[in-house]
Structure 1
């Protein structure tokens, strides 16, 4: 009986491990070269439009400053919110939508996909928290780190969320980044129809990294306008 129990337990462990591996197979979407093979997933839209997106907020200091900067530029963007941050900064979360920006789902918290069996529960909680906090119903989902697992993709579909990643990453979260380096990285890979990834928070980054984002936004928007591209949220991206 003990031998049978041990065998059954071992088989169960193998199945759990196999399920976890299978769930992680789609994580290749986090790799730039792979995203190029999936243009819709990467956020490829109208060639005359550039989607401007921000992850990891809201942040008590950075987000209000960024909202003011975007208002000065007469630009609207898409904000991928973390539910934990919405609970910490409910007034700012509401202000994002009130200012005319689009809210989207980034997750419950900024974590790696280590618990596939919790993906649906966590995403439902994140979605409901963001709806309650902003009064808006998101249409988009972007997984933390750009890691789209099978369980996360399925959970997003059940909620009616479209998953979108990015075509240009400013790496504004990295140590040593500044406004010039962030703008150069974005513009070095950006063309019409692209989706820009920046961050209005440092909850998963170097402390204060959002300052480089604030310094870079004007340069990015100015370049896009000189190219004749309209800068705006994903809802206007023609996807």
Structure 2
């Protein structure tokens, strides 16, 4: 998975600036000012999220491993993948996990018009809802890059944007121990982990490294006394 740097090398003016500015600022905004956008939730645990699925090989393997660990997670799905693998998308819900929106296609929103972004997200919502019977609440743009159109579309469609505080960079298909080290480098109590259950935008077979990393991650998280939960529980208001 190639994550482009949100750096603009050409001058931006007017509408172009309004469209691109969120991509420049989203990663640099202090988390204390936008904790939910960053994925910071209730203390005592961390949220586990997966992007780019459903996948006919990676998703079932991830689900099986999560079942063995007793974990529930949030799956940010691509509408194009749901259309190709509807039974796998339903399997995620049937296993007790949460579905969320990653768009229809995995394309940087800075390269698309606001109307195109809205259409992409709307189609993904319709595809996921129609296939799984569950309307998703959360949204994460491809590469974690927001444009002005991204914010407008998510708000207009009633979706809540959520990024992450720690990622395993597992799209590179590195050794499982390296994936866990990447996660733990920035993971703190109340954070959100990003991994991938599909290799549709990653190195082929990278999901195998992700699956192998999950038990290693479990040992590290449990050693800190943290629970693992989906975003619905993680970002819920305290009682």
Residues 66/29 of structure 1: CA separation in 2 closer, same or farther (3 Å cut): farther
Greater C-alpha Rg: 1
Aligned pair 1:129/2:124, yes or no? no
The equivalent residue for 1:106 is 102
Q: Could you report, residue by residue, the CA deviation over 1:93-126 in whole angstroms, capped at 9, with x for unpaired residues?
A: 0110010000000001100111223111111111
Contact 1:178–1:211 under 8 Å retained in 2: no
Query: SS of the counterpart of 2:194?
Result: strand
Structure 1 runs of 4+ aligned residues shifted over 6 Å read: none
- CA drift of 1:21 comes to 3.0
- CA drift of 1:30 comes to 5.7
Residues 103/135 of structure 1: CA separation in 2 closer, same or farther (3 Å cut): same
Scaled by the length of structure 1, what TM-score is found?
A: 0.88
Q: Match for 1:36 among 31, 37, 40?
A: 31
Structure 1 portions without partners, runs of 5+: 1-15
Structure 2 portions without partners, runs of 5+: 1-11
Q: How does 1:51-70 map to 2 (within 5 A)?
A: 51-70=47-66
Query: SS of the counterpart of 2:209?
Result: helix
The equivalent residue for 1:219 is 216
Scaled by the length of structure 2, what TM-score is found?
A: 0.88
Q: Match for 2:136 among 135, 138, 141?
A: 138
The equivalent residue for 1:96 is 92
Higher helix share: 1
Q: Could you report, residue by residue, the CA deviation over 1:36-71 in whole angstroms, capped at 9, with x for unpaired residues?
A: 353221000111010000000001101001100000
Contact 2:36–2:235 under 8 Å retained in 1: no
Query: SS of the counterpart of 1:203?
Result: coil
The equivalent residue for 1:81 is 77
Aligned pair 1:198/2:195, yes or no? yes
Distance across 2 between alignment mates of 1:17 and 1:133: 41
Q: CA RMSD in A?
A: 1.6
Distance across 1 between alignment mates of 2:15 and 2:152: 14
- CA drift of 1:29 comes to 4.9
Query: SS of the counterpart of 1:217?
Result: helix
- CA drift of 1:186 comes to 0.3
Contact 1:142–1:165 under 8 Å retained in 2: yes
- CA drift of 1:203 comes to 1.1
Distance across 2 between alignment mates of 1:26 and 1:96: 32
